[in-house]
């Protein structure tokens, strides 16, 4: 049985930075070659970044991707890396990309994986299963491939597949069994969700057994708008055994020696498929690669899994860092109220960017308590961020002197004056403004539009309030605690009127969050929520608040998705909607 | 040949108002019966409104729709309308709707058309072609039907189809020819775009000829968030002749006598299909309806087409009115700068809601010219809207006294103080705030986030600046001119610094708008735009501005789509995107 040394390049590509991404492929391919690898696999859409969304409709973009691929093949050879087989994702088109976006259906665009060798594009595969649920719109963008691409490499038949191909039964993995391949390379841009790593492992194991072939699964790492890709690349044997696995949330090159069946003697070449064959054609290529092993045997090792809080914290840190860096912001600014949300966002920002790139602003009003200011100052001291105070009362008083306002209008006014100050600091000093509303607040609309909701990015957008506390407590156990204990333990308050508490307007978050999770994340209706043990009156009140806050969410800042269903592209509801549960 | 009296109910349904929509079906069915109709057809998703988006994943919603359908059938019979065949759109599910949104692929949901008769649901059809481009995400929501439903009515075989079925070749209309039907009823929720009515007519004519059957095409009317449905219902003969057609943008019942081939003697029952048959099964039902004609013969007539400006103006008026009314706002407020954008929005609002529901606020600063205030006051006088003045200088001065701001930060501060004032009036008095940035401004980011962009709805969101002027001139020819001539003729200015003009920062709109249209609406790249005759330096500058403004658009207010590609769900671009045309 031949042995192939496989390298999985779990790297961070950037949407639209095609030349930068190609340079990264050359850099990591050099490392893979230095490690003696025969094959290195990069993530889905490595050259273009993922998701490119409607950029796919621009011919100039697709043509740049296609040209970059052939240039890359030549550059790798010029780099002396021609003998290395490089699998890389990019966007392709059927023929010259002359098809306009108006041509519906059939965009002519392909989510493609190419194998580069000796300066040439040896073979190309087009993704077969296109996800069109959750955050994915791939039926909008791509046409599905109908041919499994098999390349002979060092005596082994290797099939190319892309991401969703592994999530749905039938198609490529069934065809891979029919083709009798020894290895399936599955390149991914699979976004993070809490506990998705557990699902992925079981899935890769299942498909390996179905295909009767080892599977090399490589995933992207990095943040892209509301998504964060966590890596978690792995190699599984044909028998379903986990052989090697990377960690999450950082770039990594996994190198592993894999003994694989010689192509001509593959035992299951004519085996019956384990499930009904969805007919895909099989196209075969030969890369003419000779797989000599050099140096010591390599085993990739299996990285340990990390606990939930660490996983989420890392996702939030990476999501923020990449949004800031990829969009070329030097620094961020946020309001520090002394409360838990802004304290946690500040701690995430400092972990992501370092304290010198984070400015925290205390924005006290006449209703701000003493402890609010003390807790904000304490946080600044603990984290080392740049701290200043901008009192809002003079501006609030001027508005009140010039307009007749009362009640809610006065409360919102204070939040909006804070928003104006933060945006003025952003304009004057170039910071990105961070907003800090958690998922529970966003759900029920407990925020002021254009007030505390101002900002270009929201790290807590998909984090329920109860999880914000959980994260704060966890983070304080990791080295020096950045978050003041008082910010964690005190009762939450917007401090927009005397002695205001969140609990004046909202159920306790321990009661609220499960209702939100049922309604938002799981689409449960009123009856199902009540059957699950929630109080009927609270269910009615909460659902009504959630329904009526849709217009605020539509104008909310982007933020990192960490759950099964985040606000944003993941949950698309009409604003105008008279459906009321239970009526 | 039997004659059927067909009624097309071009009505306005509301998303989620299932009981209200069912009541509308009963009301309009009564009218159809009074006119002696045998068959009345309502739009796609009449019972639920359209689009329901992710509400489709909630079992409680789907179950309410299904129950409402059977209740409606019984209610119609109880109303004495049982002999009338009623075709109505709703959302259905395969079996009890127990399928969770997590079950991917295959949502088990159906975009359905039912025929009600004598108190029962006689037959149901599931939409076959699902649009998944532009604003549509139907592959996300529905499973495609594979069976053409044919119902015998008064001796005529009638096929049921839904919306997109008529836009794509093959499938239901091919099956309709094979089934030898006399009439195809196509129920629609087809959103307005400029000149779409011309495309629709040609399409309906083509499908009628392909099917060898008359086509009754009924479309919804009304606004739903960013979409407006324009009606334009029609009846076309099997030979492709336009027999009857409604106007656009208002509710209407079109009643027309249609001579149709007797089912058993259909000549083309075994004819060869004109294009390759995409195999659909055919299911046949018999409603047992006897089609006696009563009273005078009825001909629906063909409504005259209206000019482009009238079409767009009507779309904007209806889109705004329905957003305000369906979301239960009593009134709107907007800032009046004396410029063309706010003047046109005020005129649209007054046409939509009447002057007593519109408040215009002059928000002068130290940089506001005398003519700005005069023009705003003149507009108020011409339209009769509620007018007031809120000077911003005291608040701006207080911010400047308390912070060190300069340049752009001072300009944006003024816009944000205006935003705070408008939102305070909204909170205090309950108005919906209208924002007035046109498509050209939104494209290049020529606006202040949380400043002039604040608001719950933007009537001009999809209207390029050159078209804003065109609409103003046209509207002033329709009765008393609401818009001051000076607002139309003066050079546009944001008036945020002394003697500022839009032309300081932007190319002339006559030059800018075609570049925007090419890049945004048609996905043209730099080279294509230059080949089309645009100046290379202006192209580079404009594309860069458009790329960098994506983050502002993501937080912008909804507004009515009138073009082939509107900002919003119609154009989905990443914020983080380093692709630069020409680099």
pLDDT on residue B106: 65
User: Nearest CA to B516 among B573, B447, B424, B440?
Assistant: B440
For residue A324, what is the nearest residue in chain B, using CA coordinates? B576
pLDDT on residue B98: 52
Q: What is the mean pLDDT of residues B533-560?
A: 97
Calculate what percentage of chain B has a pLDDT beyond 70. Answer: 95
Q: In sequence order, what are the beta bridge partners of B214?
A: B183
**Among partner residues B57, B105, B576, which is closest to A224 by beta-carbon distance?**
B576
| pLDDT confidence band for A510 (50 / 70 / 90) | very high
For residue B453, what is the nearest residue in chain A, using CA coordinates? A450
User: Nearest CA to B570 among B34, B191, B155?
Assistant: B191
Helix (H, G, I), strand (E, B) or coil at A255: strand
Contact pairs from chain A to chain B, CB under 8 Å: 258
pLDDT on residue B103: 42
pLDDT on residue A374: 92
Angstrom distance (rounded) from CA B168 to CA B384: 48
Choice between A292 and B245, residue whose per-residue pLDDT is larger: B245
Q: Is A451 exposed, middle or buried (0-12, 13-18, 19+ CB in 10 A)?
A: buried
Query: What distance separates the 2 farthest-apart alpha carbons in chain A?
Result: 88
Quote the minimal CA–CA distance from B157 to chain A in Å: 30
Share in percent of chain A as helix, strand, coil (round to 5): 40, 20, 40
User: Nearest CA to B85 among B182, B148, B151, B166?
Assistant: B151
For residue A522, what is the nearest residue in chain B, using CA coordinates? B101
Looking at the predicted structure, is the pLDDT value of residue A564 above 60? yes
Contacts of A530 in chain B (CB under 8 A): none
Angstrom distance (rounded) from CA A6 to CA A254: 8
What number of other Cβ atoms are within 10 A of residue A429's Cβ?
A: 13
Active site residue B561: no
Q: What is the ipTM of this complex?
A: 0.95
- Our CA dihedral for A139, A141, A147, A150, rounded to 10 degrees, sits at -120
Q: In sequence order, what are the beta bridge partners of B236?
A: B215, B242
Cβ atoms A417, B417 nearer than 8 A: no
Active site residue B163: yes
pTM of the model: 0.95
pLDDT digit string, tens, across residues A217-268? 999 999 999 999 999 999 999 999 999 999 999 999 999 999 999 997 554 4
Q: Which of A574, A580, A582, A583 to substitute to test the interface with B, most B CBs within 10 Å?
A: A574
Q: Do the chains contact at A420 and B416, CB–CB below 8 Å?
A: yes
**Among partner residues B402, B424, B558, which is closest to A405 by beta-carbon distance?**
B424
Pairing mode, if any, of strands A386-389 and A432-433? unpaired
Q: Do the chains contact at B409 and A421, CB–CB below 8 Å?
A: no
Pairing mode, if any, of strands A358-362 and B183-188? unpaired
| DSSP letters spanning A442-489 | HHHT-S-TTTTT-SSB-TTTT--HHHHHHHHHHHTTSSS--S-HHHHH
**Among partner residues B408, B409, B558, which is closest to A575 by beta-carbon distance?**
B558
Q: Which of B578, B581, B582, B583 to substitute to test the interface with A, most A CBs within 10 Å?
A: B578
User: Nearest CA to B506 among B579, B550, B441, B561?
Assistant: B441
Contacts of A320 in chain B (CB under 8 A): none
E strand or H helix that includes residue A323? helix A308-326
| pLDDT confidence band for B268 (50 / 70 / 90) | very low
Phi, psi of B242 (to 5 degrees): -75, 120
Choice between B265 and A392, residue whose per-residue pLDDT is larger: A392
What Å distances lie between residue B435 and A91, A414, A536, B432, B506, CA to CA? 38, 22, 39, 10, 21
Contacts of A389 in chain B (CB under 8 A): none
User: Residue A80 has which token pair?
Assistant: 């002396």
Quote the minimal CA–CA distance from B286 to chain A in Å: 34
pLDDT digit string, tens, across residues B486-517? 999 999 988 888 888 888 888 999 999 999 99
**Among partner residues A14, A104, A398, which is closest to B578 by beta-carbon distance?**
A14
Q: What is the mean pLDDT of residues B89-103?
A: 68
Q: What is the mean pLDDT of residues B472-489?
A: 97
Q: Do the chains contact at B395 and A413, CB–CB below 8 Å?
A: no
User: Nearest CA to A73 among A37, A34, A22?
Assistant: A22
User: Residue A225 has which token pair?
Assistant: 């708008």
Quote the minimal CA–CA distance from A515 to chain B in Å: 15
**Among partner residues A405, A454, A574, which is closest to B428 by beta-carbon distance?**
A405
pLDDT digit string, tens, across residues A260-294? 999 975 544 444 444 444 579 999 999 888 888 88
Indicate the average pLDDT of chain A: 94
ω into residue B51 within 30 of 0, thus cis? Answer: yes
Angstrom distance (rounded) from CA A431 to CA A333: 6
pLDDT digit string, tens, across residues A35-84? 999 999 999 999 999 999 999 999 999 999 999 999 999 999 999 999 99
Calculate what percentage of chain B has a pLDDT beyond 90. Answer: 87
pLDDT digit string, tens, across residues A408-419? 999 999 999 999
């Amino acid at each position: 049985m031949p042995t192939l040394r496989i390298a999985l390049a779990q790297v961070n590509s950037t949407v639209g930075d095609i030349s930068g991404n190609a340079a990264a492929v050359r850099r990591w391919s050099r490392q893979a070659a230095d490690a003696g690898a025969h094959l290195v696999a990069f993530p889905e859409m490595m050259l273009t970044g993922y998701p490119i969304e409607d950029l796919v409709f621009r011919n100039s973009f697709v043509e740049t991707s296609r040209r970059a691929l052939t240039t890359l093949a030549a550059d790798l050879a010029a780099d002396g890396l021609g003998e290395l087989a490089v699998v890389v994702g990019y966007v392709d088109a059927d023929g010259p990309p002359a098809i306009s976006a108006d041509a519906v259906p059939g965009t002519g665009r392909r989510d493609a994986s190419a194998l580069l060798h000796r300066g040439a594009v040896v073979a190309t595969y087009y993704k077969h299963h296109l996800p069109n649920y959750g955050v994915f719109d791939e039926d909008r963008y791509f046409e599905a491939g109908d041919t499994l691409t098999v390349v002979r490499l060092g005596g082994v038949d290797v099939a190319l597949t892309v991401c969703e191909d592994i999530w749905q039964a039938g198609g490529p993995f069934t065809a891979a069994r029919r083709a009798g391949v020894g290895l399936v390379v599955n390149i991914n841009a699979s976004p993070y969700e809490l506990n998705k790593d557990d699902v992925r492992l079981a899935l890769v194991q299942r498909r390996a057994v179905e295909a009767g072939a080892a599977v090399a699964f490589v995933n992207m790492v990095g943040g892209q708008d509301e998504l964060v890709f966590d890596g978690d690349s792995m190699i599984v044997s044909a028998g379903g055994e986990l052989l090697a696995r990377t960690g999450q949330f950082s770039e990594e090159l996994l190198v592993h020696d894999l003994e694989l069946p010689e192509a001509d003697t593959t035992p299951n070449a004519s085996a019956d498929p384990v499930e009904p064959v969805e007919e895909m054609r099989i196209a075969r290529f030969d890369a003419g690669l000779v797989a000599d092993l050099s140096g010591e045997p390599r085993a990739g090792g299996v990285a340990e899994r990390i606990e939930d809080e660490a996983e989420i914290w890392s996702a939030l840190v990476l999501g923020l860092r990449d949004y800031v860096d990829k969009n070329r912001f030097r620094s961020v600014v946020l309001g520090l109220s002394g409360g838990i949300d802004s304290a946690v966002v500040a701690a995430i920002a400092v972990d992501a960017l370092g304290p010198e790139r984070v400015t925290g602003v205390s924005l006290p009003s006449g209703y701000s308590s003493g402890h609010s200011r003390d807790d904000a100052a304490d946080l600044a001291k603990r984290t080392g961020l740049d701290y200043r105070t901008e009192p809002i009362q003079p501006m609030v008083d001027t508005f009140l002197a010039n307009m007749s306002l009362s009640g809610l209008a006065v409360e919102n006014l204070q939040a909006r004056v804070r928003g104006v100050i933060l945006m003025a600091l952003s304009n004057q000093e170039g910071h990105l403004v961070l907003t800090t509303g958690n998922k529970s607040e966003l759900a029920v609309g407990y925020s002021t539009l254009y007030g505390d909701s101002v900002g270009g990015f929201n790290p807590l957008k998909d984090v329920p309030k109860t999880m914000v506390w959980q994260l704060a407590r966890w983070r304080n156990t990791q080295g020096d605690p950045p978050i003041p204990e008082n910010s964690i333990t005190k009762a939450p308050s917007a401090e927009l009127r005397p002695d205001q508490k969140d609990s004046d307007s909202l159920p306790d978050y321990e009661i609220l969050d499960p209702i939100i999770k049922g309604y938002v994340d799981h689409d449960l209706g009123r009856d199902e929520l009540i059957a699950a043990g929630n109080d009927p009156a609270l269910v009615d009140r909460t659902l009504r608040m959630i329904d009526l806050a849709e217009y605020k969410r539509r104008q909310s800042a982007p933020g990192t998705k960490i759950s099964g269903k985040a606000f944003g592209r993941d949950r698309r509801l009409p604003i105008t909607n008279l459906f009321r549960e239970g009526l």
